[in-house]
Amino acid sequence: PGWKPSPEIAARWKKLTAPKELTEEHIQEEFVNHATKTLARSAFNMDDFAAYQASAYSVRDQLIDQWNSTQMYHTTVSPKRVYYLSLEFLIGRSMDNALLNLGIKDRYANAIDKLGFNMEDLVEQETDAALGNGGLGRLAACFMDSLATLDYPAWGYGIRYNYGIFEQSIVDGYQTEHPDYWLTFGNPWEIQRLDITYPVAFGGTVIRSKGASGGFVYTWEPTERVVAVAHDFPIPGFGTKSTINIRLWSSKPSNEFDFASFNAGEYEKSVKEQTDAENITSCLYPNDNHYIGKKLRLKQQYFFVCATLQDIIRRFKKTGEPWSEFPKHVAIQLNDTHPTIGIVELQRILIDEEGLDWDGAWKIVTKVYSYTNHTVLPEALEKWTVPLLKELLPRHMMIIFDINLFFLQSVERRYPGDREKLRRMSIIEEGVPQSVRMAYLAVVCCHTVNGVAELHSDLVQKQLFSEFVEYFGAGRFTNVTNGVTPRRWLHQANPRLSALITKTLKSQHWLKDLSELAKLKQFASDPEFQRKWMEIKASNKKRLAEHIAAHCNVYVNPDAIFDVQCKRIHEYKRQFMNILQVIHRYEELQKMTDEVLAKQVPRVVIFAGKSAPGYYIAKMVIKLINNAANVINYNLRTSKYLQLVFIPNYNVSLAEIIIPASDISQHISTAGTEASGTSNMKFVLNGGLIVGTVDGANIEIGEETGPENIFLFGVLTPEVEDIRHKQTYGTGIKVDPKLDSVVESIRDGTYGQPAIFEPLLHIDTMRKVDACFQNKAEWAKKSILAAASMGKFSSDRSINDYAKNIWHISPLPPPE
């Protein structure tokens, strides 16, 4: 900085920036100020959207105050910080969340009401920040909320995509995709930092020469240069002044290069370079649990970690401490392998730019990084081909080869002559072409590797990385079970339930310590509490019914069981099995006499979720659900007892409406395939019960609720492979496409091994649900007991686990 304030000026500055009391009048003043000055509107030229924007800018001012003081405080203390690197942050809307976390929602709502606007309507004006696909991206967002709430010195880093996940509409039953240009009207929740930029380079060659001390030095001469520009998204904690930052990078052309082309008269070339540069951060790849080997995706990955590391290093250098102290200030968490090239980048910077030797650099790098694995599905494990890496990042490719060489040499020393082992454990996969196994690279370079639920972490250690566990020891591997933030997923999404809990527990403290929910158990059989609890559920169901009427043109019966499966459409998540079960139910209803029909428990089956645009089977499942809905909903005789809807465009704000309204939700992945799942936690937290397989976090949820408050069914993980094998090579059973006609013969064991037919077990489970639902008091009790058991699944608990066992950082609450 070229300017330093004198003590008098600094004092004056302090006085001018001192937060003003948030009186009604002050809020109104700020609102009108932004409406007239920021938006250039007048009282006669306002609508809900303008009012939303004016409120948003004024709330943002509050955030910025807190954010500034948090950052200034962190700078003076210079603690060890955690940097959470993620290609996805599925934040959703910000205004309601900010108002609630800052504890100023009522004040704002009242103040704005007197200016003629309704806060609930304004909140609805906001477009989601949909910078993620599903579970992995939403987890990152929940973690940011917890890091802020628990006062950890933390930063999130990622990409500011111009287009988030596509918008889905349903046309003739098919999914159609539309671009999500969420930035059309600007984004009040970010602060563009045109002053914080870093160069990022790609391509070219590496020149090797003799250095002063006799060793080789490597100079990377890239051919493409772009610039990363910072955008800051302040994240307020709940009930604290801590406000942390998610810094998202956007790509811009580098000036040097367009000038060169421009001056050479190559105007078109210079413009093309500009668009190429901007394209790097244009789009989020819409794949969930599936990797894509596209060059642009690799560019995104390197682009964001390259800028991030420069930012982290700049911050570290302010301490004036030597490189050996770097790990005492910095912990970097890799959210899946997507940012793994950052490991290599740090090794490169330390050697090529900071002049450390290989071993010195390696010691630092391996103390800094840790890696979270989110899936064991082979099709989701990232591999980059060697030719592509060489083309885009030639120096990094050399370093990866070196890391692999040193690693394999030490494996060879431990297991002399075992060439097969070397081949299996190599970071480089042989083949034409060769490729780099990014997960192996992460395991070799990180001090800690974790899975996201007990079962998943077990599979990570026993299947995915078993030889690495044997080689490095089990100490490198651990579990951190996922969690969700109760602030967004209960307090914000279900305000009435939150208020009931606060009233019953006589304090809001449960929002900071979710284990306090257990105190609700004593009220589980209290008829008055049950009545209030179920009345809130009923009103949430009504609200969802209104959304369904508006978006699906179906009037669903709000007294029916709401049976929900909303998540990305994927074979392993088995929406297909679920829709077969629904069709089976429909066919059974057809056969019933009026008398029997009248005794059926009415059910509304609700699906929602996006399919990757190129995922044919998933798209066909969406089509099948919609076609089935068209038949089922128009059967006048049975539609009282069964309705089916597919709600389009599932996203965070739709989840906030659906989840509080569910009676049961389906988490029915094939055992061993869903790493954790996090919506399962959100549903139970809101008093919905799980129908699920023995998979992911369902297992731990069941341990907490007790088996009587969860509907688990199906086979266990070790049996799955066995069954698959038998199905492929065994009796050669063919499942009759007319499901109803074969159901009984399969069930009586005619074909052996009934466990293969999990769809049948699913059907049985759903019958059990019907029976339970009829006893209203018992159902209410289960719902309360299950929700009261969710203490473990707060993302606060997950973050405390990471902080204590992996990052070794401590809370730094801001001074009052």
In the set 34, 241, 491, 573, the catalytic residue is: 573
Annotation says 678 is catalytic: yes
Q: Is position 460 an interface residue for ligand AZC (rule: CB under 6 A)?
A: no
- Beta strands 330-335 and 369-372 are parallel
Number of residues in contact with ligand AZC, rule: CB under 6 A? 18
Question: Among the options 34, 138, 568, 797, which is catalytic?
Answer: 568
In the complex with ligand AZC, which residue's Cβ is closer, 677 or 714?
677
Specify the residue, 191 or 381, whose C-beta has the smaller distance to ligand AZC. Answer: 381
Is the CB of 83 or the CB of 793 nearer to ligand AZC? Answer: 793
SS3 37: helix
Q: How near is the Cβ of 195 to ligand AZC at its closest, in Å?
A: 34
User: Are 330 and 312 in contact, with CB atoms under 8 Å apart?
Assistant: yes
- Interface residue with ligand AZC among 696, 702, 714, 791 (CB under 6 A) is 696
Closer residue to ligand AZC in complex, CB, 158/677: 677
Q: Are strands 428-429 and 435-437 parallel, antiparallel or unpaired?
A: antiparallel
Compute the radius of gyration of the chain from its Cα atoms: 28
* Residue 756, amino acid: I
The CA-atom distances, in angstroms, between 369 and each of 44, 47, 110, 324, 587 are 55, 49, 47, 15, 55
Q: What's the token pair of residue 497? A: 């339930």
Q: Which of 125, 482, 643, 794 lies at the binding interface for ligand AZC (CB under 6 A)?
A: 482
CA distance 667 to 40: 49
Task: Copy the structure tokens of residue 488.
Answer: 């967004």
Pick 338 or 476: Cβ nearer ligand AZC:
338
Residue 452 sits in the site that holds ligand AZC (CB under 6 A): yes
Peptide bond into 5 cis (omega under 30): no
Stretch that binds ligand AZC, among 141-149, 493-501, 557-565, 668-676 (CB under 6 A): 668-676
**DSSP-derived 3-state class of residue 568:** coil
Contact status: 253 vs ligand AZC (CB under 6 A): no
DSSP state of 124: T
Please give the structure tokens belonging to residue 467.
């030889």
Distance CA 406, CA 399 (A): 11
Q: Pick out residues in 736-765 that bind ligand AZC (CB under 6 A).
A: none
What is the chain's length?
Answer: 816
- Tell me the residue type at 417: G
Q: Which of 675, 690, 699, 723 binds ligand AZC (CB under 6 A)?
A: 675
For 236, the 3-state DSSP assignment is strand
- Which of 92, 135, 234, 660 binds ligand AZC (CB under 6 A)? It is 135
Out of 678, 693, 705, 765, which one is annotated catalytic? 678
- How far apart are alpha carbons 246 and 308 in whole angstroms? 11
573 tagged catalytic: yes
Q: By the 8 A CB rule, do 403 and 444 touch?
A: yes
CA distances (Å), 711 to each of 484, 605, 673, 684, in order?
Answer: 21, 17, 19, 12
3-state helix, strand, coil in the chain (%, to 5): 55, 15, 30
Q: Select from 139, 439, 671, 812 the one that contacts ligand AZC (CB under 6 A).
A: 139
Establish whether 506 is a catalytic residue. no
Instruction: Please say which residue, 643 or 651, places its beta carbon nearer to ligand AZC.
Output: 651
Select the residue interacting with ligand AZC from 126, 128, 288, 796 (CB under 6 A): 288
> 466: which residues sit within 8 A by CB, 6+ positions away?
none
Find the residue with minimal CB distance to ligand AZC: 135
Distance, in Å, from the CA atom of 498 to the CA atom of 656, rounded to the nearest integer, reads: 14
Q: Which stretch binds ligand AZC (CB under 6 A): 250-258, 652-660, 674-682, 725-733?
A: 674-682
**Annotated active-site residue in 395, 567, 585, 797:** 567
CB of residue 141 vs ligand AZC: minimum separation in angstroms? Answer: 11
Tell me whether residue 375 or residue 789 sits nearer to ligand AZC (CB atom): 375
Catalytic hit among 247, 682, 781, 782: 682
Are the CB atoms for 236 and 148 separated by under 8 Å?
yes
**3-state secondary structure string across 685-718:** HCCCEEEEECCCCHHHHHHHHCHHHCEEECCCHH
Residue 98 CB, shortest distance to ligand AZC, in Å, is 24
Give the residue with the Cβ less far from ligand AZC, 180 or 288. 288
Active site residue 682: yes
The contact pattern for ligand AZC, residues 361-380, with x = CB under 6 A and - = no contact, is -------------xx----x
* String marking each residue 105-134 x if it binds ligand AZC according to CB under 6 A: -----------------------------x
- 65/571 with CB nearer ligand AZC: 571
Question: Which residues form the interface with ligand AZC (CB under 6 A)?
Answer: 134-136, 139, 288-289, 336, 374-375, 380, 452, 482, 674-678, 696
Active-site annotation, residues = 374, 567-568, 573, 678, 682
